[in-house]
Amino acid sequence: MEEDFNQFIKCLKVASKNMADASYFQIDNTGSEELIYRERVYCYELYHQLRCVLGEYRPYKLQGEMDKSSHTEFAKPHKPDFIFHVPRNMQQNLVVVEVKKSDAVNNNLDDFKKDINKLK
């Protein structure tokens, strides 16, 4: 699994570099000069780039916004941004990703801590 994890990280770096266009980070806020960050826009493009770079990396599957609300292993519903895992095998959840904008920690430390606990 360590080799698979290292390969995923390499692919994540390539996928991130493929997102050089700032329009995936900063969105023109209509009616304002201000550019705003939108997590969903970034996540959708990152998912696309990861899928392109990873290809068919068997036995793992990249899945986004996987709703775990009816899963028997979780007391509370969780919806991580990405899971790179072997479906139906809790022992092979290789990577779980939650995306946050860089100022999320400074703006709301409590929400950031909640997300860390969800990932655990």
Q: What is the model's pTM?
A: 0.75
CB 6 within 8 A of CB 36: no
* Coil, strand or helix at 74: coil
- Per the DSSP assignment, residues forming a β-bridge with 26 are 37
Rounded CA gap, 103 and 71, in Å? 32
Q: What confidence score (pLDDT) does residue 53 get?
A: 94
Q: What confidence score (pLDDT) does residue 10 get?
A: 95
User: Which residue has tokens 């801590």?
Assistant: 113
pLDDT in tens, 75-84: 666 778 888 9
- Per the DSSP assignment, residues forming a β-bridge with 85 are 61, 93
Helix (H) or strand (E) holding 88: none
pLDDT in tens, 42-58: 889 999 999 999 988 88
CB 62 within 8 A of CB 47: yes
Token reading at 51: 């899928």
pLDDT in tens, 10-43: 999 999 999 887 777 777 766 667 777 777 888 8
Residue 59's identity, in one-letter code, is: P
> Based on the structure, what is the number of domains in the chain?
1
Q: Which domain holds residue 85?
A: 2-119
pLDDT in tens, 85-105: 988 777 778 898 888 776 666
